[in-house]
A and B are shown apart, each in its own frame.
Chain A
């Protein structure tokens, strides 16, 4: 009787609407739940789908199979006739849902949970399939409410399968969008609290913002950021290991790797086995997307062009200026003599630039090959080098102001030690000096290119990009030497050159002071004292050398002493955490502040980085900017790279940079683990707009 009634009921609505295969929806409070069947009638042995559809009130969410830090997954208990068997839920791609510092994995909107059913081969034609789903879910917004309901659907076994087009389309779409299983190479390693996972042989897509949702709740700490490094052969995700690693994981673990494909978020089910790390290549390629002119990924050609333009602009940067002025002076001197001489000198100057860049790059590559984390400007992290630079610039300054002349400095007009020596070797050393003092100055366009070069696997690519940089740097003088009109336009040599030469000693002294100050920061008052003592010894030596007999020998000894003194400078070891201001950068500190819901600004800087100091002076320390930081409660973190620091070097590298400055902004509103990259030359307006989110 009941079956008859049901058949009648079915026939009635099957003939009138598609409603038969859609359950009446149940409003459980925050959720309207219903069942959708792909078919009106099914055949024996057939597989079909029923999906649980949940329409959530705005802002409310339910949970994925691993709910994350808290919550409970959506659950369906099927009450089925013998003729039916149900498969597992095909889970939609979850979202990370932050609530304060807590990260949950779940769904908003109207997620569909499809389930495959198989009809028994022996199901009788004409029999009725009563399907009941007891659904339970925790639904949360600011509070959590467990809701449940019972949903029913009734189907009939028939000789022909009759599709419900509308439901079937919705289910097919949901299954199409749900993560499906693919085979990738993957491995994970827990090292204490740190967990690294590598994925290789990945499908097409943008993995720079990838996220791994593990099925197991105890694999990783859900609330910690997942930092993605993209290599040519795959990606590595670095995050924190959870307590499941106390006993270890013996088998492979499944989960969903979420990424972007054609601008849409998508995911694949992958499994990861514990085991040795898979090489995914250096973190090259990981030139992060985001705002800022240097944010976009660049290819080799882009890096070469960027390096050339960067080299050109480098001529105008404040640290290079005094040296360049020297060169200009010598050019003015030779400009009115034979053109061939001017050209030879221009080439010697260019050669000095190339040779010095080459030496720096080779040394850098050699040290990097030894496993050290170094970037551009690495030599300036060494107080001995900085001390010698200070001494050299001091010597050049003394020479310019006329305290002494170097033997062989034939022309009394423009000599600056070796660099000022007339002729080809003078030009060569001017070029070398220009490169050495240029390193603390990063010019626009340069950072991305240098980052690309240093993070590249191939030494050839590195050399090529640096060659372009050197070419850009040398280009103006070559141009001068060959453009006939230009040379003759330079003023004629005369007494004014002596005055100008004397004047140029002051920028030299200023540059020298900067380096002394850097040594002070690196090696403390003692180190700074040593360099000042070296300067005194040098000045004394210069005076002694102008005396006669034994005094000259004493003078030579004093010069040796002067040069030896900076070698005694030692990097001061960090003086305990008490000295580090609360605004010192660390990845943990960033995560922590963001967990508090604060926006974070990170300033990757170094004392020897002039661009950084200029930004600091003109932008970061202005009242309006300070006020904006206070108003928006933005945390200001400083990553000080004055001395060698592997953690900072790795972080720079992960943003495709090999040097400072780098400015990152993490808005409070979004949960991305990657910061927005701001331009290297900051302006007050731009920064205010960024901070205030306009």
Chain B
């Protein structure tokens, strides 16, 4: 039944994704379109299932030096734990859009091992080897971060912080945009910085 639902919803999701202009951004403040995605344990999630919860999307690629910077320094894991511990129920989805054969591509098992190796704490790791979800969000870099508020509007998209270097030393003293946006949301304020230029490696889509 699950695979049936998947078979039914994935084409729908791709139609949704591709009826938007090419690789254009979803404007911050607009409602995200629903799509069905599959995680590393084979579970299908619809984005609409998370209505009422905050959703954080993190594009990732284990081989990318910029991703390594945030995982080796424990920066990303700390943020994952902090975010999902918020009073507002929060879902953290790490998304792998690397196409088969490209850097960072993982099967379910591989993705779970990576989570284990880095003691990462995402709610789920989404496997998006077709790039459907990546293109729908126009994710361009790893890391590329998105925050979807409980009412399913996109409230932040861009970089994780303001230091675009791949050096671990650059994490100290950097302003973490995601943490700042979450603090704004927790305090009931509008997010101050809603868009930033993401930095990092390009997402390894099929080309």
Binding site for B on A (CB under 8 A): 69-72, 98-102, 104, 136, 138, 140, 142-146, 193, 217-218, 221, 223-224, 240, 242-243, 246, 588-589, 591-595, 597
Contact of B164 with A142 in the complex, beta carbons under 8 Å: no
CB distance from B187 to the nearest CB of A (A): 22
In the assembled complex, the Cα of A104 lies from the Cα of B102 at a distance in Å of 18
Find the A residue at minimum CB distance from B101: A142
A218–B165 alpha-carbon span in the complex (Å) = 18
Give A240 to B194 CA distance when docked, in angstroms: 19
Cβ-based interface call for B44 (8 A): no
**Are A223 and B23 within 8 A (Cβ)?**
yes
Contact of B207 among A71, A99, A588 (CB under 8 A): A99
Could you give, for residues 21-59 of chain B, a 1 whenever the CB lies within 8 Å of some chain A CB and a 0 otherwise?
111110110000000000000000000000000000000
Do residues A70 and B21 form an inter-chain contact, with CB atoms below 8 A?
Answer: no
A70 contacts B140, C-beta separation under 8 Å? yes
Task: Taking A72-B164, A72-B166, A589-B22 as given, write out 14 further A-B residue pairs in contact, using a Cβ cutoff of 8 Å, ordered by the A residue number.
Answer: A100-B206, A102-B203, A136-B165, A193-B21, A218-B195, A218-B197, A223-B23, A223-B140, A224-B23, A243-B25, A243-B28, A246-B195, A592-B18, A595-B22
- In the complex, what's the smallest C-beta–C-beta distance from A200 to chain B, in angstroms? 28
Q: How many A-B residue pairs have C-beta atoms within 8 angstroms? Tell me.
A: 105
Residues of B within 8 A of A591 (CB): 21-23
Contact A140 B202 (CB under 8 A): yes
| Chain A nearest CB, measured from B156 CB (Å) | 11
Which A residue's beta carbon lies closest to that of B142?
A: A70
> Contact at B206–A221, with CB atoms within 8 Å?
no
- Complex: chain B residue closest to A244, CB-CB: B195
In residues 148-207 of chain B, which contact A (Cβ within 8 Å)?
A: 164-167, 194-195, 197-207
* A102 pairs with B24, CB closer than 8 A: no
Q: Which residues of chain B have C-beta atoms less than 8 A from A223's C-beta?
A: 22-23, 138, 140
Most-contacted residue by chain A among B65, B195, B205, B207 (CB, 10 A): B207
Contact of A246 with B194 in the complex, beta carbons under 8 Å:
yes
A72 to B65, CA, bound (A): 12
Q: Is the CB of B166 within 8 A of A146?
A: yes
- Please pick, from A70, A100, A142, the residue contacting B200 in the complex, using a CB distance under 8 A: A70
Asked if B103 CB lies within 8 Å of chain A CBs, one says yes
Residues in chain A near residue B206, CB distance under 8 A: 100, 597
List the A residue with the shortest CB-CB distance to B158. A243
Whether B125 sits at the interface, judged by CB under 8 Å, is no
**Could you say which of A144, A218, A591 has the most chain B C-beta atoms within 10 Å of its C-beta?**
A144
Give chain B residues whose Cβ lies under 8 Å from the Cβ of A242. 25
Q: How far is the CA of A589 from the CA of B141 in the complex (A)?
A: 23
CA distance A118 to B62 in the complex (A): 44
User: In the complex, A640 Cα to B77 Cα: how many Å?
Assistant: 53
Asked if B63 lies at the interface with its beta carbon under 8 angstroms from chain A, I say yes
Q: Which residue of A lies closest to B167 (CB)?
A: A146
User: Is there an interface contact between B28 and A102, defined as CB atoms closer than 8 Å?
Assistant: no
Contact: B166 with A138, CB < 8 Å?
yes
